[in-house]
Structure 1
Amino acid sequence: MPGCLAALWAFSRRTPWLPRARAWWEDTLLMARLVRRGWVRFVRDAHGTAGFLARDGARIHALYVHPRARGQGLGRALLEDAKAGADRLELWVVHANASARRFYAAQGFEEVLCSQGLGNDENLPDVLMVWHRPQGQMP
């Protein structure tokens, strides 16, 4: 769990346009809940936990890769693992996070809905992105 929090905070605490939505202890409690529910898959590298994906059914709640491990295909591997057991996946991404939107689009996700962010912790405009298993492709 500490490695997952490190990956989360490497983004959320170091991104100037992203307001801090929760205190560190709230993030810790939330992460513990996600892990207890069995929603978290993580990847490791030589330094420990390098990234994680939290998913409940078709909904991806979080995908973070630590900066030291970006560009190595770990985020793609986490998504491929999620796709292997699903016909459809969905996630919300903050509109201002253009690199994440490009990443998800490259993984086959399409932008289907925009919102003003009333449902996210940061109250920032966001985009619903959806992936569907291609017709005829087996899981």
Structure 2
Amino acid sequence: MDEAARVHRAAFDNALPWLAGLHTPDEDRWFYRDRVFTGCQVHGAFEGGALAAIIAFRSGWIDQLYVLPEAQRRGVGSELLQIAKRAFDCLQLWTFQRNPGARRFYEGQGFALVEETDGARNEGKEPDARYLWTRP
């Protein structure tokens, strides 16, 4: 759980540096221990014996997908996403509008943009985008 929280924070802060520090490491660990691991199916990808990426999903939703910056663009995120796609016929997820790397990744994986918001409903108050994938 601690390693999943570490991967999340490193990837998040790299992609969205203006939101860095939104949570402390202790808060991240609590979130993974008490929320993610209790409510989601969680899978990890390892490189050299260390956790390099995580995905957490539940019925119809991808809640978390984070890949360490140094492990990105090697297919790790795609492999993890395939696990969720095999489990469900329809998946949704949220990402931030100002995260073009994530948006390109999800669009390249067959997700379609279905909604954009002003961010009023997320804790960072950052405009976000909801994506949808359905099995062809």
TM over 0.5: yes
**Separation of aligned partners in 1, 2:2 and 2:20:** 22
**Residue-pair matches, total:** 134
- Residue equivalent to 2:91: 89
| 1:119 has 2:102 as partner | no
Q: For 1:33-84, what per-residue CA distance to the aligned partner results, in whole angstroms no more than 9, with x for missing partners?
A: 2123452111111141110011121111110011221121010001111000
| 1:20 and 1:122 in contact (8 A); partners too | no
Q: Any stretches of 5+ residues in structure 1 without a counterpart?
A: 135-139
CA RMSD, Structure 1 to Structure 2 (Å)? 1.5
- Structure 1 residue ranges, 4+ long, deviating more than 3 angstroms after superposition: none
User: For the residues of structure 2 that align with 1:118 and 1:23, how far apart are their CA atoms?
Assistant: 22
| 1:4 positional shift | 1.3
Identity %: 32
TM score, norm. by length of structure 2: 0.90
* Alpha-carbon distance change, 89 to 38 in structure 1, aligned in 2, over 3 angstroms: closer
Query: More displaced, 125-134 or 11-20?
Result: 11-20
**Which structure shows the bigger proportion of residues in helix conformation?**
2
What are the equivalent positions in structure 2 for 1:60-79 lying under 5 Å apart? 60-79=62-81
- 2:2 pairs with 1:2: yes
| Unmatched runs of 5 consecutive residues or more in structure 2 | none
CA distance in 2, matches of 1:47, 1:117: 37
Report what 1:25 is aligned to: 26
Check 1:46–1:19 CA distance in 2 against 1; reply closer, same or farther (3 A cut): closer
